[in-house]
Amino acid sequence: MKNKFLKGAHLSERKFKEILKLFSEDLTATQIANISGVSRVTINSYLKKIRMQIVKYCESLQSDIQVGASSWGHRTPSLHQPQDIAVAVKTDVDRIVKPVIFGIYKNDNKVFTEILPDVSRSMIQAIARGRSVLETVGSTERIRRFSGVVDLSQYRLYHLGQAHHEAENKTALDDVDGFWGLTKHRLAKFKGLNRNTAYLHLKECEFRYNYRHEELYAVLLNLLKTYPLNLS
């Protein structure tokens, strides 16, 4: 069945666009299944594919910041191979150690997140109090680029150092607070987050926040038209 957004799909393009529209409205998989009439198993499969593509896109923007120019398509020739995407995402997820802690920073008017598998809760609490404990573990410079760090297990945001007292950082901190507010609200509705999908949902929140002033459905349509999902 021809579907320019989803290669190898058994659903019509019209039905897939309906599912994508409901996803953009932030409905749960159960709600989407009930409204669309598509099985929950199929919906879960499609939503995971969509989230993987969002992850890939968000990571490409971070790569542009860290290593400079070149297009997403040019850097990722294997993008249309779902097994490659799954491996790339799974690698990050597997590195997550309990508790789940991630950093938040702002660049070029967008908020970005990064899982911090080697940072402990005690380290974050110490740096938030102004202590220099990170000097002893060689992570100081990497941690300092974050405006905030979240302990997801406790649903708690820590502002680092004295940044919240500096007027020039106010906009960045407002975005950190705004992003965490959206993320906390979204994740709470899952009533417990599967550790294996934490990274997918975190990047989805990042994507939703960065495009909050645009019509998300149109953004997703454009993304998936350029880089279709592949079920084969």
pTM of structure = 0.78
Instruction: Name the one residue in this structure whose structure tokens are 């989805």.
Output: 204
The band of 66, judged by pLDDT with boundaries at 50, 70 and 90, is low
What does DSSP assign to residue 227? S
How confident is the model at residue 77, as a pLDDT? 32
Instruction: Express each pLDDT in 75-109 by its tens digit.
Output: 333 333 333 333 233 334 444 445 788 999 998 88
Token readout for 79 is 């993008």
Tell me the C-alpha distance between 38 and 35, whole Å.
Answer: 8
Strand residue runs (E) in 23-165:
101-107, 110-115, 148-151, 156-159
Tell me the C-alpha distance between 129 and 159, whole Å.
Answer: 10
> Hey, where are the domains in the chain?
1-76+211-232, 95-193
